[in-house]
Amino acid sequence: MTKWLLLLLAVLVSAPAALAQSSDYSRYEFYGGYAYQRANNNARDISSNGTTFNGTQVVLGSRDQAYNGFTAEFNQNPWRHVGLVTSFTGVYDRTPYVNTLNGTAFSAKAQRYDLLFGPRYNFRLGKINPFVEGSTR
């Protein structure tokens, strides 16, 4: 299901780019790249109420975890300096959870998806295009 959704997103984003014919600035911009996030695995929140697993009490230790994935961004510029940005990011990892009571390790697949959108202001200084943007989930 995720593969079909990503394929549909790529087709929808690519179609307007073919129509973007302007010498001053592009009406549509697309970016795709690598994403890296470092976040806490929230293990203490998972086991805070005294979780048991196969009859053994489990208290998981929290730790920071590195996640690798992709990011894709679509920017539509209705005016020369103002754009509307949609950003989609997916990161993945196999996260180790450790029971701090007896040292037993559990492995789990972790994945996180973020969809953000918001306005962008483009300064358009010749060949350099610095911008400022804000977004919300």
Q: Residue 1: its pLDDT value, please?
A: 64
pLDDT at 116: 94
Instruction: Report the alpha-carbon distance of residue 74 to residue 31 in Å, rounded.
Output: 7
* Count of the separate structural domains present in the chain: 1
pLDDT number for residue 99: 80
Bridge partner list, 116:
87
Q: How many CA atoms lie within 13 A of 61 on its CB side?
A: 10
Say what the pTM is.
0.65
* CB 72 within 8 Å of CB 109: no
Q: What is the pLDDT along the chain (137 residues), one digit of tens a residue?
A: 676 666 666 666 665 555 554 557 889 999 999 999 988 877 767 666 667 767 777 777 777 889 999 999 999 999 999 999 999 999 999 887 788 788 888 788 889 999 999 999 999 888 888 989 887 76
Domain carrying residue 38: 2-133
The whole-number pLDDT of residue 4 equals 67
Q: What is the dihedral of CA 21, 22, 27, 30, to 10 degrees?
A: 70
Residue type, 49: N
Residue 90: the pLDDT is 96
- Dihedrals phi, psi of 18, to nearest 5 degrees: -70, -25
Other Cβ atoms closer than 10 A to 53? 12
Q: pLDDT at position 70, please?
A: 97
What amino acid occupies position 123? Answer: F
User: Distance between CA 137 and CA 134 in Å, rounded?
Assistant: 11
pLDDT of residue 19: 54
Structure confidence at residue 91 (pLDDT): 95
pLDDT of residue 108: 82
